[in-house]
Amino acid sequence: MDAAYYLKDVVFAYDREPALRVESLVINPGELLALHGPNGSGKTTLLHLLAFVRTPQAGEIHFFQEKAEKSNLLAMRRRIGLLPQNPYLFHSSVMANVTWALRIRGVDRSTRRKRALQALEWVGLAGFEHRHARDLSGGEAQRVALARALVLEPDVLLLDEPASHMDRSSIRLVEEIVMQWNRSLGKTVVFSSHARIQDHALTPHRTLYVLYGRIAGQGSENIFPGRIIDSGTSFETNHMTFKLHHPITSGDYLTVDPSRIMVSTYMPMPRDAANAWRGRIVAMSEAGDRVRLEVDSGERFNVLLTREAYDRVRAVLGQTIWLRVPDDAMKVLS
């Protein structure tokens, strides 16, 4: 299989409690993938599995067509750059931090220094090489950790909540680096965020929602907490009620795939069509080759439109439109 990663029936548990289960996941080479989900949902665990710093209790992980085994884990780790959410810096200078991984790979001193200075320049920390790690601010420490990952020129870059400890300007800088890394160099990038994806300048090719230790679905940016009512035929959120095609017995969240939501300027027919609401466009942005709308219909929906669909609707900010959520765009999770 031509994939950067292929995960099959992977189970990871802390102690005996499973923290993450992935039945099947493919990450393509050169893909910019976002992992979205609340804190504690399993995003960090998934990134650690992808970085091969944790080993699953069950299942298989293939990395560029090679099955991960004890014998090749080190070689695989050395092709990956991981930026942890709250990175640890060694008690030494910035330069020593950035060059250490090169040193243990046997890279000579002058090359190490040259590459480290280049990496520090990428992250906007030129001139910081002699500073001690303990004298850095949270944002600077995060950028040093990013430089430490970038200096290895890895095939895959994994970023765990890259914006969590940074100021606004640092976030922009890091997002630009990541986009450049992905677009210009064609490197695979996976990043996690508990914030809404549209709050980032990063425009992922794909977004996966991780919830309760499972990948809840692709593109599931619309996550609504709620409960099952009407003998399992409806799901009630704080502000609306979704009709379910197949009755179900339990569920705490309903997800709606943003690329499957249908948009129209006219009321859908029949008038009492299920799961159709009127809403106002409150935000618009570009998302790669698509257009993202944020529509307030009681709940706020993220809608991903193709350019053709966008041209057809001629959506403008503040406009009132109709949304229709097809049965197969909804998924109830428990």
Distance CA 302, CA 315 (A): 14
Contact status: 64 vs another protein (CB under 8 A): no
Stretch that binds another protein, among 76-84, 171-179, 258-266, 287-295 (CB under 8 A): 76-84
Q: Which is nearer to another protein, 75 or 273 (CB)?
A: 75
Contact status: 61 vs another protein (CB under 8 A): no
Integer angstrom CA distances of residue 223 from 86, 140, 192, 213, 330: 26, 33, 16, 15, 10
Shortest spacing between CB 25 and another protein, in angstroms: 20
- Residue of 57, 65, 86, 285 that binds another protein (CB under 8 A): 86
For residues 204-233, which are near another protein according to CB under 8 A? none
- Residue of 7, 32, 80, 244 that binds another protein (CB under 8 A): 80
Contact (CB, 8 A) for 176 and 169: no
For residues 88-147, which are near another protein according to CB under 8 A? 88, 90-91, 100-101, 104-105
Q: Which is nearer to another protein, 90 or 180 (CB)?
A: 90
Shortest spacing between CB 252 and another protein, in angstroms: 31
Distance CA 6, CA 307 (A): 31
Distance CA 129, CA 113 (A): 10
Integer angstrom CA distances of residue 13 from 22, 53, 119: 12, 14, 35
Distance CA 177, CA 60 (A): 31
Shortest spacing between CB 127 and another protein, in angstroms: 24
Contact status: 74 vs another protein (CB under 8 A): yes
Shortest spacing between CB 192 and another protein, in angstroms: 15
Q: Which is nearer to another protein, 90 or 127 (CB)?
A: 90
DSSP string, 171-207: HHHHHHHHHHHHHTT--EEEEEESS-GGGSS---SEE
Three-state SS sequence of 16-44: CEEEEEEEEEEECCCCEEEEECCCCCCHH
Distance CA 146, CA 190 (A): 14
Pattern of binders to another protein over 267-306, x per CB under 8 A?
A: ----------------------------------------
Positions touching another protein (CB under 8 A) are: 48, 51, 53, 74, 77-78, 80, 82, 84, 86-88, 90-91, 100-101, 104-105, 148, 152
